[in-house]
Amino acid sequence: MTDQALWRPTRRRLTDTLLAALAPVAAGGLALGGLSMWTAYGSAGSPARIAVSESRVLLPYGDNRDTAAFFRITNSGGSADRLLKVTSAEAADGALTLSRHRMTGAGSASAKTVSSAAVPAGDSLAMSPTSLDVIVPTKAGWQSGDLVEFTLHFEHSGAVKTVAVVVRAGQDGT
């Protein structure tokens, strides 16, 4: 027999083969362990779970019929979601818009209409006069303490209804 036909494993060849196989096996085990932990703590593949709280709308001031509404949106799920729009049958013409405010310096600010707002997984979005709000064209006659129904529409969670209380500016941290 020739030397090529007679292949015998040496200790060195076996060690090299085992070490080469160990790296992918260890990486696979580590990935499986991480995914198992993620699943065990309830985050794997869980949908967005949206809750709306601290709903308030500012009482219009003077002759101005447009005002702002604010909500705290909490996502306790494992997937992010997006607020797409807000509607209310109690608004003057139903054309509510999302608006983002940015401080430009020296006590001035600018507002920009936005098409949606992200609600990260396991986090919350707190609307305020200095960040994100909903511009609401009001009907005449709203008074402090009135309740106004809103429906928040999300990309994955669908429609979530809430009731906002009408408050004066400066009341309740607004």
CATH for 113: 2.60.40.1890
pLDDT for 153 equals 92
Residue 116 maps to a domain: yes
Q: Per residue of the chain (174 residues), give pLDDT as tens.
A: 555 667 777 888 888 888 888 888 888 888 888 777 766 665 556 788 888 888 898 888 777 788 888 999 999 888 888 989 888 888 777 678 888 877 666 666 677 778 888 888 888 888 888 888 888 888 777 888 889 898 899 988 889 999 988 888 766 555
Q: In the Cβ-directed half-sphere of 102, how many Cα atoms lie within 13 Å?
A: 5
- Alpha carbons 129 and 117: distance in angstroms, whole number: 15
Answer yes or no: do 37 and 58 share one domain: no
Let me know whether 67 and 83 are in one domain: yes
Task: Give the chain's domain count.
Answer: 2
Q: Is residue 24 part of a domain?
A: yes
* Same-domain status, 34 and 113: no
Say if residue 59 is in the same domain as residue 137. yes
Indicate whether 111 and 80 sit together in one domain. Answer: yes
Position 114, amino acid: V
**Type of residue numbered 79:** S
How many CA atoms lie less than 13 Å away from 144 in the CB half-sphere?
7
- Verify that 85 and 157 share a domain, yes or no: yes
* Eight-class DSSP state of 7: -
Residue 20, domain extent: 8-44
Beta pairing, strands 158-167 & 50-58: parallel
Its pTM stands at 0.67
Please tell me the distance from the alpha carbon of residue 117 to that of residue 102, in angstroms, as a whole number. Answer: 15
